[in-house]
Structures are given as structure tokens and as C-alpha cells.
């Protein structure tokens, strides 16, 4: 170190670069380590201009230099400078040196090299960003799986999230259908490529056959690559079988149009995604099968109702009408009058049953209007036409999940059906109240009531269905009834995550 620097009050041992410049930015003095950070191979740089030594960093340093020449100290952290085609990072300070009259006579540049720390931090930030993208993709796909109405659209959306997470240029999802690979979602590929990629003897076929991930760093060199794809811009490739329960349901394919390799971390994410998408596909198929079974169950239920109620009422009408006809033919019409009254009663009962059936076949109000309005429409359409007064009361504001509304709706309908068909009630009341964790529904009537123990033994009057629906939702059921005292049914369902 020269006397010039020795006079300055600075810890030169800690600083990576200490440089003294005159007001023309010519080097007056420097410490030894400074030479490692400038673009020169000369032994001596004294007398050379700063911008000659750091030509590519002129624009970065200039604002600080100007501030220092105006007499103001300037600081900059994590300053990126290009030296010998490499980027180095410094924490830099420029401090003006004054004479006794306060004039700036020189500028002291002190810099601390932080390249290693900065690059490490950038690497960690990239990894955090990468992990965040991947977690967001998994979260998004989990949300898609929670509500699948159109499988192909859901898979297309899943593919978009996957490509974003792994920085893919293109992607495809194939499903195994009738022992063939069928492309159901694709992004970034033209139709000609889609057709060739789907050939089962190629890359995707290998993945299905071997039931394990396939990663190809350069498809142009792989003989399994279709010719059209080999001539495209795509280079790197990964294929992941979707097999949530050992059965391969399809293949998730990702392409990159650069030589950037597909890493183990990428494959790890793709395997997780493929498992989730496979579960989504299974769930969709189960929902379809469940819908088919529900339709069949509903048809069977309606058939039983028609047979047990409406058909019997119509059969009774036929018998009573035949009896009246016989009495009329014998000139004994007065003897047939009681049967005419029974015809009227049976016809009214058949009308009630038909109204119930028609209402149950049209529950669209639940979806369009919500639980309370659907129950009011039910009472207006059925009970009031049967001269039964009905009312729906809410004791608090309701904000219920769809699944809970459906359960309460069907329980209320079952209870109202009982009151209409068996209880000979004149009044019915449905009351709803929601708390933070529970919803309670009370259905009461002023009908003839029944012996509770006998009803439990027989399992009749729809009580077993009400119990099953309540139990499925983790709720509690209370039934109060006795002869000539009416009936009250209280259902309480939890609103925790399991009830969704």
C-alpha cells in the first residue's frame, strides 16, 4: 500500500477493493486485491481511467461517481458489474475527499465482493420459486379433482398447470381406452404430431408397457421417437404413467424445445401430478358409475312407489267402480253409494301420491333457489293442494354447503311424505337454524303420531332412510312421537370439513 492509502482511515484488510481516484477518475492508488476485479493484465494501472478498467460497468457506476464528485457519499448494495464476461457482485461505497476549503479533490472507492453469497441467495430463491410453482400446480390440480364435470376439460386445465410448474414447451395426456391410447388433452403441438405421438409402439407405448417413467434428454437420438417429432423443435421429453392403483389409466407427457434437461426434481413432481391426475380420472369414473346407480335406484324407488301406492289406489278404484256398476245394474244404486265415497277417497289418495312423485322428479328448485325456497315450493305444490297448512321458518341466516342442503332436503321430503300419507296431519312446520359448527332442522306435524318402538322395529315410514342419511353426514337424529300427539323429527348435522 502507498502512503496515500495509508493516510486513509479504512480497514483495507477487509475490503476486496480500495481505490483512490482523482476528480478526472484517474487511478491514484489501490490495494492489491483490486487487480483481481478489473479487466486488465497489466502489472500497474496507476494513471489509467476508471472506465478504461471497467468499461462494461460504466453505466452502473456513473450515477454513484457523479454523486461523489458533487460532494455526497453514495452507497449501493448488491451491485452487479460485468468483468471479463462474468458478473460479479459488490457492496460499494464512494466517498468524496475534500481539501481544507471543502472542495472535492479525490474519490475513495471501497468495495466488498459478495458474489458467492449473492449467487447462493439467487440459487435458493430460484429453488424456492421452483418449489412454489410446483406446490401451486399440485394444489390447483387437487382443487380441480374436487369438482369434475367434464373429464377432458379438467385434464386440459391440469396440463396447463403442469407445463407452468416444470417450464414445459408442450404436453399431452393420453388415456388407455379399450386397450388403445387416446389423446384427450394437448398443448403446444399440431395435430400431425399428436397423431404420430399416439402410436403405441413409440415412447408412450414403452411407458405403458413398462409401467415406469421415461426421460429422454434428446429425442432426436432415440429410435423410438416418431419421425415427425424428431424433425420438430422438441428435444427433451418425459412420459409418466398414471397408475394410482397399479392399473395404468394413461400417460402424462411433457416436452421441452431446448436442451435444458428434465431434472430428477421435475420427474418427482410429474410423478406426484400423474398420481393425482390418475386419482381424478378414477374419481370421475366412480362418479359416473355412482350417477348411473343413483338413476337406477331412483327408478326402482319410483316403481315401488307406483306399485305400493298409486297402483293400489287405482286397483281399489277399479274394484269399487265394479261394485257400483253391479249394484246399478241390479237396480240397487243406494247400496252402491258407500262405494262411491270410497272411490272418492281412493282417487284423492292417488292424486296425493302422484303429486308427490311429480314433485320428487322435479327437484331443480334446490339447485336453482336453495334449500329454503325448495322446501317452500314443495309445500305449495303438495301439502297446500291436499288442504294441509305448511310453513318453513329460518331462525338464522343460512349458508350451507350443497351436499348438506341436499341431505336436509331429502330428509325433509321424507318426513313431509310421512305426515301426508300416514299421519293425516292438518299442519306441518319445517324450522331451520344454523350455528357456527352445526345446522339443525326440525320437521313437526299435528297428525295421529305412532308408537316409536314399533316404528323402529318395522323400519317403515321412511325412518330408516332418514337415519341412514343422517348417519352418513355424521349427524344426530331425534324422533318424538306418540299416538294422537303428532310427530317431531330433529336432525343436526356438523358443518366441519368431513361434512362437505
Long-range contacts of 451-454 (CB under 8 A, 24+ apart): 451/482, 451/483, 452/479, 452/480, 452/481, 452/482
Determine the length of the chain: 500
**Rounded Cα gap, residues 155 and 149, in angstroms:** 11
Q: Which domains does the chain have, with CATH numbers?
A: 3-113 (3.30.450.20), 125-278 (3.30.450.40), 365-500 (3.30.565.10)
Q: What percent of the chain has pLDDT over 90?
A: 17
CA neighbor of 445 nearest in space, from 491, 489, 414: 489
Mean pLDDT across 86-106: 90
Strand order in the sheet with 17-22: 27-30, 17-22, 104-113, 86-98, 74-83
- Return the closest-CA partner of residue 433 out of 490, 348, 349: 490
Asked if 273 contacts 137 with a C-beta cutoff of 8 angstroms, the reply is yes
Q: How far apart are CA 423 and CA 412, in angstroms?
A: 15
pLDDT per residue as tens digits for the range 294-346: 666 666 666 665 556 566 666 677 777 777 777 777 777 677 677 677 777 76
pLDDT at 6: 45
Report how far Cα 29 is from the mean position of its chain's Cα atoms. Answer: 63
Residues 161-176 as b or e (16 or more Cβ within 10 Å = b): bbbebbebbbbbbbbb
Q: Where are the alpha helices (DSSP H) in 256-401?
A: 264-305, 312-329, 333-360, 364-369, 371-378
Percent of the chain at pLDDT > 70 equals 77
Query: Is the model's pLDDT at 9 over the cut of 60?
Result: no
- Write the CB contacts of 283 (distance below 8 Å, at least 6 apart in sequence): 145, 148
Give residue-wise pLDDT tens across range 122-177: 777 767 666 666 666 666 666 665 565 678 888 888 888 888 888 888 888 888 88
Mean pLDDT, range 383-400, rounded to an integer:
89
pLDDT class of 205 with cuts at 50, 70, 90: confident
pLDDT in tens, 30-89: 887 877 777 666 667 889 898 888 887 788 888 999 999 999 999 998 888 877 777 888
Q: Do the bridges between strand 74-83 and strand 27-30 make them parallel or antiparallel, or are there none, so unpaired?
A: unpaired
Amino acid at each position: 500500500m502507498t502512503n496515500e492509502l495509508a493516510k486513509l482511515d479504512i480497514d483495507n484488510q477487509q475490503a476486496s477493493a480500495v481505490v483512490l481516484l482523482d476528480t478526472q477518475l484517474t487511478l491514484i492508488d489501490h490495494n492489491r486485491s483490486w487487480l483481481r476485479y478489473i479487466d486488465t493484465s497489466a502489472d500497474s494501472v496507476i494513471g489509467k481511467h476508471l472506465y478504461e478498467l471497467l468499461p462494461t460497468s460504466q453505466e452502473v457506476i456513473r450515477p454513484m461517481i457523479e454523486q461523489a464528485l458533487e460532494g455526497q457519499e453514495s452507497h449501493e448494495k448488491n451491485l452487479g458489474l460485468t468483468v471479463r464476461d462474468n458478473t460479479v457482485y459488490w457492496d460499494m461505497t464512494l466517498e468524496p475527499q475534500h481539501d481544507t476549503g471543502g472542495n472535492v479533490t479525490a474519490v475513495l472507492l471501497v468495495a466488498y465482493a459478495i458474489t458467492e453469497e449473492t449467487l447462493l441467495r439467487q440459487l435458493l430463491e430460484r429453488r424456492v420459486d421452483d418449489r412454489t410453482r410446483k406446490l401451486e400446480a399440485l394444489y390447483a390440480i387437487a382443487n380441480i379433482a374436487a369438482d369434475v364435470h367434464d373429464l377432458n376439460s379438467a385434464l386440459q386445465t391440469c396440463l396447463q398447470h403442469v407445463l407452468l410448474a416444470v417450464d414445459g414447451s408442450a404436453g399431452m395426456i393420453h388415456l388407455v381406452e379399450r386397450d388403445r391410447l387416446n389423446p384427450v388433452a394437448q398443448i403446444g403441438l399440431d395435430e400431425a404430431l399428436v397423431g404420430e405421438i399416439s402410436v403405441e409402439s413409440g415412447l408412450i407405448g414403452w411407458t405403458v408397457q413398462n409401467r415406469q417413467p421415461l426421460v429422454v434428454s434428446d429425442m432426436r437420438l432415440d429410435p423410438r421417437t416418431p419421425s415427425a417429432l424428431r424433425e420438430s423443435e422438441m428435444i427433451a421429453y418425459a412420459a409418466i404413467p398414471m397408475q394410482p392403483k397399479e392399473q395404468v389409466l394413461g400417460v402424462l407427457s411433457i416436452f421441452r424445445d431446448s436442451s435444458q434437461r428434465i431434472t430428477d426434481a421435475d420427474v418427482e413432481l410429474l410423478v406426484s401430478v400423474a398420481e393425482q391426475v390418475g386419482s381424478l380420472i378414477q374419481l370421475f369414473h366412480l362418479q359416473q358409475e355412482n350417477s348411473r346407480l343413483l338413476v337406477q335406484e331412483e327408478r326402482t324407488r319410483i316403481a315401488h312407489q307406483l306399485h305400493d301406492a298409486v297402483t293400489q289406489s287405482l286397483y281399489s278404484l277399479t274394484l269399487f267402480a265394479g261394485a257400483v256398476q253391479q249394484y246399478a245394474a241390479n237396480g240397487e244404486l243406494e247400496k252402491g253409494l258407500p262405494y262411491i265415497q270410497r272411490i272418492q277417497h281412493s282417487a284423492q289418495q292417488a292424486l296425493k301420491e302422484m303429486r308427490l312423485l311429480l314433485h320428487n322428479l322435479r327437484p331443480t328448485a334446490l339447485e336453482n333457489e336453495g334449500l329454503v325456497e325448495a322446501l317452500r315450493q314443495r309445500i305449495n305444490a303438495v301439502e297446500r293442494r291436499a288442504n294441509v297448512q305448511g310453513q318453513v321458518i329460518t331462525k338464522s341466516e343460512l349458508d350451507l354447503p350443497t351436499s348438506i342442503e341436499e341431505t336436509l332436503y331429502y330428509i325433509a321430503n321424507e318426513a313431509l311424505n310421512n305426515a301426508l300419507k300416514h299421519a293425516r296431519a292438518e299442519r306441518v312446520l319445517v324450522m331451520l337454524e344454523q350455528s357456527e359448527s352445526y345446522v339443525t332442522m326440525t320437521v313437526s306435524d299435528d297428525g295421529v303420531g305412532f308408537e316409536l318402538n314399533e316404528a323402529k322395529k318395522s323400519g317403515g315410514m321412511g325412518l330408516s332412510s332418514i337415519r341412514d342419511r343422517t348417519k352418513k353426514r355424521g349427524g344426530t337424529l331425534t324422533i318424538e312421537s306418540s299416538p294422537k300427539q303428532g310427530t317431531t323429527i330433529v336432525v343436526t348435522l356438523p358443518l366441519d370439513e368431513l361434512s362437505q
